[in-house]
Structure 1
Amino acid sequence: MDPARLDGLVPDHLGPRTRRIVLRDLAVPVDIGFHDFEVGNPQRVFVTVEVWLDEASFAAVDEVAAAWDYDFLRSEILLLVEGRRYNLQETLAREIYTLVAARAGVKGLRVATSKPDVYPDCAEVGVELSSF
């Protein structure tokens, strides 16, 4: 079916109110932690980034040039942690948050980091920053 045939059939009250891009549970090896056994021993950190975009920044046509760059999220996070040492997840989350918040078109943002291998009796420990 030609999607153009559906133009004008969706009532205004059912139009999208938010537009979100998600990078979920990117597994990144990070030298993080302040305990002696953590220093110099990279740990798995999961990073989740949810970006709410303004309408103009969300692809309205099926063309790569119109899309928000997903690769940016992944590659810039990997570059950010490469060769770095962090004492706290809070610092890592704040740096990722700032990196993404500075991009054009961002209306809302949530960044979460978690360390899944800290305790044997829980899934993960983490921090989260959000604009709402």
Structure 2
Amino acid sequence: MADYSIILDRLDVAMRLGIHPHEMEPQRVRLSVEMTVRYPHPPSADAIDEVMDYDFVRTGIQELAAGPGFALQETLVEAIAAMCLADARVQRVRVRSMKLDVYPDARVGCEVVRDRVGR
């Protein structure tokens, strides 16, 4: 077996996220995803069909961002974690969201870690 960390870092999207009236308009949210992916053996042919094509994570996040939105960051990171764990090769996922413009002097975020065993 071969385990690899696949990282999608600092993907900025505009989306509806929050409980306050002013958050019903899209706001900037930064998302980072780290997955531990298990392959039966290390890739040897240097070909994409031997590994997970991580485009699905970026595309999936963009689709979530284009949707109706989320009230809670916790719900958003859980949805992204579940999307990643739908691929049986993903053993563990860490998802972090950061609202970039809520406060003038700080960002506010949420992070979840899910394992295949504990899902």
Query: Which residue number in structure 1 is paired with residue 37 of structure 2?
Result: 53
C-alpha RMSD of matched pairs (Å): 2.0
Could you say what secondary structure the match of 2:60 adopts? helix
Query: Which residue number in structure 1 is paired with residue 7 of structure 2?
Result: 22
TM-score of the two chains, using structure 2 as the length reference: 0.86
Distance (whole Å) between structure 1 residues aligned to residue 41 and residue 100 of structure 2: 33
Paired amino acid for 2:40: A
Could you say what secondary structure the match of 1:109 adopts? strand
- The question of 1:127 aligning with 2:110 is answered yes
Could you say what secondary structure the match of 1:131 adopts? strand
Q: Which has the higher strand share?
A: 2
Cα 1:90–1:54 change in 2 (3 A) is: same
Contact 2:81-2:114 at 8 Å conserved across structures: no
Distance (whole Å) between structure 2 residues aligned to residue 25 and residue 92 of structure 1: 15
1:1-132 aligned at under 5 Å gives the runs: 18-39=3-24, 41-56=25-40, 59-122=43-106, 124-131=107-114
TM-score of the two chains, using structure 1 as the length reference: 0.78
Pick 1 or 2: higher relative contact order, CA cutoff 8 A, min separation 6: 2
Distance (whole Å) between structure 2 residues aligned to residue 127 and residue 58 of structure 1: 33
- How many matched pairs? 115
Paired amino acid for 1:129: V
Structure 1 consecutive aligned stretches of length 4 or more whose deviation exceeds 2 Å: 55-61
Paired amino acid for 1:31: R
Contact 1:49-1:111 at 8 Å conserved across structures: yes
| Percent identity between the two aligned chains | 37
Question: 1:32-82: CA deviations, max 9, x gaps?
Answer: 11112212x100111111000113286343112222111111011111221
Query: Which residue number in structure 2 is paired with residue 12 of structure 1?
Result: none
Ranges in structure 1 where 5+ consecutive residues have no aligned partner: 1-16
Contact 2:11-2:30 at 8 Å conserved across structures: yes
Ranges in structure 2 where 5+ consecutive residues have no aligned partner: none
Could you say what secondary structure the match of 1:38 adopts? helix
